[in-house]
Structure 1
Amino acid sequence: MRYTGPKMKLCRREGYNLFGVEKYNLEDNHREVKRGNKLSEFGVQLRKKQAAKRQYAVSEKQFARYYQKATKISGVTGEQMITLLETRFDNVVLRANFARTIMQARQSVGHAHFLVNGKKLNIASYQVRIGDVITIKERLKESVLYKTLVEEFGEFAKKNETASVTSVAWLTVDPKKLSITMNALPGPSDFDKMIDIQRIVEFYSK
């Protein structure tokens, strides 16, 4: 079961902004982060696992499944696990700046706002592949939902004719076509530095 309570509560518990939105910055919040007794190593592993799980907004069962899937892929298990999470459809939409939060990205995907390679797809967990092209449905480009995005991307395109809207190296975002192309798999240098991959692997490998 996914957590549906206050997001700031989760950020305080893990000690940092899990969602990348300014309103969840702990330093901007007047309530201090309380620190309890020193955690055991297992406790630290649990907290790191919980933080990453919440960052991608997946359930416990889903998160564990990604670990199991990663163990079957050649390479470093932890890195493969984060790569799988990073290339989820909803996360790619977020990384491309087509949504402000992972929750908003998931809702947009679930409501079938996007096409993948020209076909309707509303599965948030879809694993985006190299070469996949994601576009907003044509009729939605004029909607209130994407009006601001279209305007911001339009201004960007005027000033940067050949540049991608996102700084994420493994994605190319065309501000004129409002399209996202995955041109490579994300690697360790692309991962959020707050994610403690080693401790997550240690938690599951016991």
Structure 2
Amino acid sequence: MTKRIRAKHKLDRRMGENIWGRPKSPVNKRESKPGQHGDRRGGKLSDFGQQLRAKQKLKGYYGNITESQFLRIYKEAVRLKGSTSEHIIGLLERRLDAVIYRAKFVPTVFAARQFVSHGHVSVNGRRVTIPSFRVRIGDVIEVREKGKQMALVLEASQSAERDVPDYIEADHGKMVAKLLRVPALSDVPYPVQMEPNLVVEFYSR
């Protein structure tokens, strides 16, 4: 069970935004931060504060991955040619748990991590239990037989709450998905604005 599975809305309230676009987010009803002083108007964030906030928001969106994992992704993005901020998004979206979530096989990114960890997913016919597994273009991701019968899978695939983005091909009848291309920032259906350029500034200080 992920460390934020019971309190996944804390990030929403701290940021004052509905990070995942979920209808049950407390931000939909109350925009203040948690705590007795949450209603106080916050001061203007410094450049560092804005950069830190952008990093926390992006890192938290993907199931609150660890700082070491996120830093590794940044360092890998720096080594690639082109825009570092775009590469960060591309590498995050190629995580197996992210692809499972985007394909609407599960309702949340937290459920995706747990779903993969419990062995309900195979890639190119081989069982994979590592949520951070890097999916390549053309890889065939399939929900294993036991997972296909789970209520959360059936509910997620039929939900009208969100759509499958066009860089992923998903067949909910067979519970099979394929990554068609690595998305750019503008392709990813984030419910809120993500600023990977500020993440780059944070790490390159």
Bigger drift between 137-146 and 39-48 goes to 137-146
Structural mapping, 1:72-87, within 5 Å? 72-87=79-94
The within-5 A match list for 1:1-206 is 4=4, 6-24=7-25, 26=27, 28-30=28-30, 32-33=32-33, 34=39, 35-56=41-62, 57-148=64-155, 152=158, 166-191=163-188, 192=190, 194-206=193-205
- Give per-residue Cα distances to partners, 1:10-66, cap 9 Å, x unaligned: 11211211233211151x324634442211111111111111111112111111111
Q: Taking structure 1 as the reference length, what is the TM-score of the superposition?
A: 0.84
| SS at structure 2 position matched to 1:75 | coil
Looking at both structures, which has the greater relative contact order when contacts are Cα pairs under 8 Å and sequence separation is at least 6? 2
Q: TM (normalized to structure 2)?
A: 0.85
Percent identical residues:
38
| Structure 1 counterpart SS, 2:71 | helix
Displacement of 1:149 in angstroms is: 5.0
Question: Which amino acid is 1:115 matched to?
Answer: S
> 5+ residue gaps in structure 2?
34-38
Measured in 1, the distance between the counterparts of 2:151 and 2:164 equals 25
Cα separation, 1, equivalents of 2:119 and 2:137: 21
Q: Which has the higher helix share?
A: 1
Please give the per-residue CA displacement for 1:140-169, whole angstroms capped at 9, x wherever unaligned. 32344534457x39xx9xxxxxxxx94301
Gaps in structure 1 of 5+ consecutive residues: 157-164
Q: Which 4+ runs in 1 deviate beyond 4 A?
A: none
Aligned-residue CA RMSD (Å):
2.3
Distance 1:67 1:78 in 2: 9
